[in-house]
Structure formats: structure tokens, C-alpha cells
Structure 1
Amino acid sequence: MAKTLPKSPYTELIQSLTTMSIVVYSVVSVLGVLGNGVVIWVTGFKMKKTVNTVWYLNLAVADFVFSAFLPLTVAYLALGSHWPFGKFMCKLNSIIGFLNMFASVYILVVISVDTCVSVVLPIWAKNHRNVRKASWVSLGVWVVATNLSAPYFFFMDTKQMSEDKIICFNSLFKNGTQSHNRFHLQAMILTRFLLGFAIPFTAIVSCYAVIIHHLRKKRSLGRQSSRPFKIIAAIIITFFLCWAPYQIMGLFKWLIFTADTVNKTLHHVFDIGSSFTAGLTVLSSCINPLLYVFIRQDFKDEFRKSILSVLETAFREEETHSPTEHQTDQIEL
């Protein structure tokens, strides 16, 4: 009888991180779908339509879609990197994550610009800001995000590794030469870093630098606007904390995968770091609803009313049907 070789500490660590990822992704998927679903319901149907609710609605839609697709990744990890869902779903599942990233960060850019204009040019903003224009801007953001994410749809593919294992992988580097693959890897990482992080956050920081400078000159305006700024600042800081490590890890990948020599230790560091940074990006999709509840008083009030309405409806239906249900229980017994 053949002896089973002991697992290396690195292999055991990767397996533990995979298990942790499965748990985290599962919890985030449930919380993200429920939390963002409530936000979509409240901002889309319960609250009065305003420019701000349009922004929050679109943020929630981006996170909701991402959370709804997470079970596919959970299944992939749980099955030992086996993808049973077909080539199209491999492509679609891959593009959803990047669509969420680009859509979210550019909606935050739009929110920052909108806030800056509202503070610096309040009269102009009052005359020109409306729900219709905000909706068109949001549509433009989704078009841009879709175009930036589209290459990942075409690059992703499936491959039969064995009789009972199919992987979902990036086929961009499948047939090219080493120099060709290096160029594409550099282009992909640099584009993602610049367009998905550095440039948008430069715009966001610039907007808030202008806002802070303006509010320092008009302290009364700063006091009146403190609550809206809290929620916006919290969302932006959260997004930065969740996505910055992922982007930094992308630059680290550029460094180790384009080096002339293979450094096994750096590859291990990258594998471990990628698990943590991916977990952070996933976590970002369920945090915003918590921020709305705990920071924005108007959303908190509407949230309570909505939940109360649901409970009242549920109780009425239960009271109406309870005699029949009781009879059914007796028949089954």
C-alpha cells in the first residue's frame, strides 16, 4: 500500500486560505444580495427620486450583481478549481468582477465631481442638477465600465485538464512567446491600475481638495453639509481600502512574472497575498448597505419603515391562512 506523502506547509496554507475564501465569499454573497437588494428597493421604489439616490442606486446595482455571481466562484473553489458551468459562464463570471470595479470607481468619481460642483457652484448646480441628467450620466458610466471590462470576456476560456477537471483561465498567454506574454501582462496590469484606480482616485482626491479648501472659507456651509459628506467619504475610504491592496498586488505580479529569473519565494508570497486581497475586494460589495444604515439618517428612517411594512404584510398573510395551514398539518400527520 503506497504511503501518502506529507503536505508541505505552503500547500496546507493554500488549502486553508481556499477554505477561508469559500466561507468569506459565501457570507459576502448572502449579505451582499440581501443588503444591496434592500438598497435597490428603498432607493428605487420607496425614497423620493433625487440625484443622490440615483448614484446610490447604481452603486447598489453594481454590488448586487457582483454578489449574485459569487456562488459560482465559491463552487469553483469548493470543487478544487473545477469549472462545470461552461465556457460562456466562465467568461461572464470573470467580466462581472471587473465590471463591478470599474462601475463602482467611476460612480464614485461622478459623486465626487457632483459634490464638488454643488459646494463650489451651488446656484448653478441647483439650476442644472436633475434626476434625468443623473440617469444619463449613470448610463454613460456603465457603458465605459462595460468597454473597459470587455477584454476580460474575450480573454477567458475553459480547458479540459483531466477527465473530471475543467479550469477557467486567462487564455491571453496561452500561445504567445515569452516576450509577447510579458508585453500583454504589462499592458493588462497597467491599464487596470491606471484606469481602474490611479486616475479615478486622483480625480476624487482633487475634488475633495477643492471642497475642503472652499469649506474652510465658509465654515457655516461646512457645518450644514457635514452629514452628506460623511457617507460619501466613508464609501470612498472603504473602496480605497478594499481595492488598493488588490491593485498593489497586481503591480507585484508584474514585477515577479516579468523577471528574467523565477523566484519561488516571491511566487508563494504572491499566491498568499492574492488570496487576502481578493477577499478584500469581495468584502467591498456588502459594506455600503451597512454604511447607509449607520450613517445616513434619512436612509435609516426609510429602511425601518420598509422593514416594518414587510413584517406587517407577512403577519397579515399568516393570520389569514393560519386555519388552513393548521388543517393541512393535521392531514399530513
Structure 2
Amino acid sequence: MICSFQLAIYCNSLVKSIMVVYIPAFIYILNSYFLDVIHACIRQTLLSKVIYIAFKVISLVFYYLTLILGVPGNVFVMYVAGLMMKRTVNTVGFLNLAIADLLCCLSTLYYVTESTFNENWPYGSIMCKILTFIMVITMFASIFTLNLISLDRFVQVITPVWAQNHRSLFIARLSCATAWILASILSLPFMMLRETGNNKTYCRLYRRNEEHFELYGRLSIIRFVFGFLVPLICITTCYGLIARKLGRSHFHSGRAFRIMFAVIVAFFLCWLPYHILLLIIMYGEKSSSLVAVAVNPLSVSLAYFNSCLNPVLYVFMGQDFKSNVKLSLRRVFERVFSEEGTQMTHTTQSQQTHSLQTQQVI
């Protein structure tokens, strides 16, 4: 009886100690832990928001620079290559590249409009689709045109006799037209998947269901492969074989090489972050996707900034900048778009032929 009474007293004191000491301590620790987690989440959210806003501001600067530099620069390139110079294979290629770059510069108005209206889209579904089509087709048209210019350089150097007999304006125009047709075909699916939502205020990917979203993911892979990876391999192969054929010293001293090398490197450096981040958003882990979404505005603006760089590169890379300052802009572009590559190839070929003849005589 006494033991039972003592056991009851012990249990009562144990319950009281649990209620008075342990449970409040546990609740305090639990609350403290969750408060720390909540505060960390708040800090992380605020930091992410600050980073996102900072990237948005920087991207807007890139968009305005693209418009200010790109529109007049590419219009002037079109004026010189299309109206003031004799039509050649070179001028056809650079003219098409300038047209694609000009359209790309103008399509940045989409992002400027969204930022002005606080990411709202006031112009309806049709304009949403049209601008999406223009944005994608200019990317494909630019890289396809760069491929054609690289292949033209390759043909001139590797097979100069064939180039002299078959390299013509008709083939150049037909090749550029084919590039634009292929770019249009590859751009149409992206246009169809864009739609306005939320009472027609957002121009975004229209995610009807999961299958619809997976389709966009597959299209993104196609865009990366045909709009970046395959052209990169093709262009790198072309210029690698050209360098091997001509020799390093002669290759690096040519004006045509400097210009095209700068244009191609600028294109791939500007577009690489865009493609990588888009694939991470579509297929990456959730944490990686969130980071990619925050950085994405900057990568998009950098990609479009490339469209204003080519006219600047033509001036700075065409010849020594001091000599370019003394010339009019028209004369600078005329020197850039001249058929120097063909002349260089013929000179190299004649030197090689003369060397072979000398060896045979000896």
C-alpha cells in the first residue's frame, strides 16, 4: 500500500516536471529551430528577390544598349552592303546577317514593354506569337548565315579552283533563302506554344498540361542542337581546316579571319548562357532551376546584345582602329565586306603552284 502510494507520488512529480520543465523546453527548442529556419528562408527569399531585381535592371541596360547601338548600326550595314557596294557573295552574306541582327534588336522591344508594364503584356495574343516567332527566327537565321559565311571561306581556301568556277551570286542568294526557310520552320512550333494568359496580361509559354510542357522541353533541346551545338562544330571544323591549309601566320594576319573569328566568338559566348540556363530550367533539379530562373533575364539580354555587336566588331577588327578613324564609316564597311578572302586564296594558291614548279625544275 505504501509502495503504491509512493509510486503514485513519484508519477505525479514526474508528470509535473515534464509539464513544467521538459515540454516548455522542447517547445522553446522547437520554436527556436523553426524560427531560425523561417528567418533563413525569409533572408534567402529576400536575397533571391534582390538578385532577381538586380539582374532585371542589368538586363534592361543591355536591352537599351542593344536598341541604341544595334538599330542604327545594322541599318547602316544594310545601307552599305545592300545599296552602296557592288553585289558580291560576301555582301550577300553580311547583308543577311545584318537583317537578322536588326530584327533581333527590334524584338527586344518585347522585353522593354514587359518591364515598362510590370511584366504585363497589353498587346494581345497575336502580337505575342508574332514577336516570339521573330525572336526565334532571328537566332536561327543569324547562326545559319554565320555557317554559310564560314563554309564560303572554307570552299575558297580548300578548293579554290572549284570556288572560282562555281561560287556565284545565285548560289549565295539561294543558300541565304534556304537558311531563312529552315529558320522559319524551326521557329513555328515556338510561336504556336506561346499564348497570353491571366486575362491576357502575360505572354508566356502556354502550359496546358504536363505533356505540353514536355513538348516545349524537347523543342528546347532541338533549338540547342541545331541553333548552337551543330553550328559550333561545323564552324570550328571549317576554320580549323582553313588554319591547317594556310598556316598559322598567314591565317591570323588576314583581315577576313580577324573579323569572322571575332563575330563567331561573340555569337557563341553571348548565346551559350541562354541555352545552358534554359536546359537547366527545363530538366535540372529544383534548386538549380530556381537559380537558373533568377539568372535567366540576364542571359536573355546578353543573347540579344550580340545582335548589336557585329557593326562594332566590323569597325574595330577590320583594320587598325587608328586607320579606321581616318576613314568614313562607309569606307570602313566597304573594306570589311570586300572580296579579300578570294584574293587571299588566289594569292596563296599561285604561291603554292609556283613553289611546286620551282621544285620540279630543280
Fold-level match, TM-score > 0.5? yes
C-alpha separation in 2, matches of 1:116 and 1:189: 30
Write out per-residue CA displacement over residues 173-224 of structure 1, whole angstroms, 9 at most, x where no aligned residue.
22x2x3x2453143122111111111111111111121112113xx78647x
Deviations 1:144-197 (A, max 9, x none): 111111111111111134xxx7000111x22x2x3x245314312211111111
Secondary structure of 1:158's counterpart equals: strand
Partner residue, 1:266: 288
Q: Is residue 79 from structure 1 mapped to residue 114 from structure 2 by the alignment?
A: no
One-letter code aligned to 2:201: I
Counterpart contact for 2:66–2:305, Cα < 8 Å: yes
Q: Determine if the alignment matches structure 1 residue 243 to structure 2 residue 290.
A: no
Q: Distance in 1 between matches of 2:111 and 2:213?
A: 27
Corresponding residue SS for 2:54: helix
- 1:9-158 paired onto structure 2 within 5 Å: 9-158=47-196
In the alignment of these two chains, the number of paired residues is 287
Q: Which residue of 2 aligns with 1:8?
A: 46
CA displacement, residues 29-79 of structure 1 (integer Å, 9 cap, x when unaligned): 121111101100011111222111111111100010111222232011221
Q: Distance in 2 between matches of 1:19 and 1:283?
A: 14
CA RMSD of aligned residues (A): 2.5
C-alpha distance in 1 between matches for 2:129 and 2:274: 21
For structure 2, list consecutive stretches of 5 or more residues without a partner in the other structure. 1-41, 334-362
What is the aligned partner in structure 2 of residue 205 from structure 1?
236
Query: How far apart are the structure 2 equivalents of 1:267 and 1:194?
Result: 20
Match of 1:84, SS? coil
Mapped contact 2:93–2:176 kept (Cα < 8 A): yes
Query: Is 2:196 aligned against 1:170?
Result: no
The match for 2:13 is none
Distance 1:56 1:67 in 2: 16
State the Cα distance separating 1:27 from its structure 2 match: 2.1
Secondary structure of 2:86's counterpart equals coil
Q: What is the identity percentage for the equivalent residue pairs of Structure 1 and Structure 2?
A: 34
Return the letter of the residue paired with 1:113: L
**Cα distance, 1:26 vs. partner?**
1.7
TM-score normalised to the size of structure 2?
0.73
Residue 42 of structure 1 contacts residue 306 of structure 1 at CA under 8 Å; is this kept in 2?
A: no
Q: Kindly indicate whether the alpha-carbon contact (under 8 Å) linking 2:62 and 2:302 is maintained by their aligned counterparts in 1.
A: no
Question: Normalized per residue, which structure has more helix?
Answer: 2
| Structure 1 unaligned regions, length at least 5 | 308-333
What's the CA shift for 1:86?
1.6
Identify which of 297, 300, 310 aligns with 1:288. Answer: 310
| TM-score normalised per structure 1 | 0.79
In the other structure, the counterpart of 2:33 is: none
Give the superposition deviation at 1:248: 1.2
1:220-264 Cα distance to aligned partner (Å, 9 max, x none): 8647x71111111111101010011111112212322xx5xxx3x
Residue in 2 that maps onto 1:226: 254
**Structure 2 CA distance, aligned partners of 1:48 and 1:280?**
34
1:252 to 280, 297, 312: 280
Letter in 1 for 2:260: I
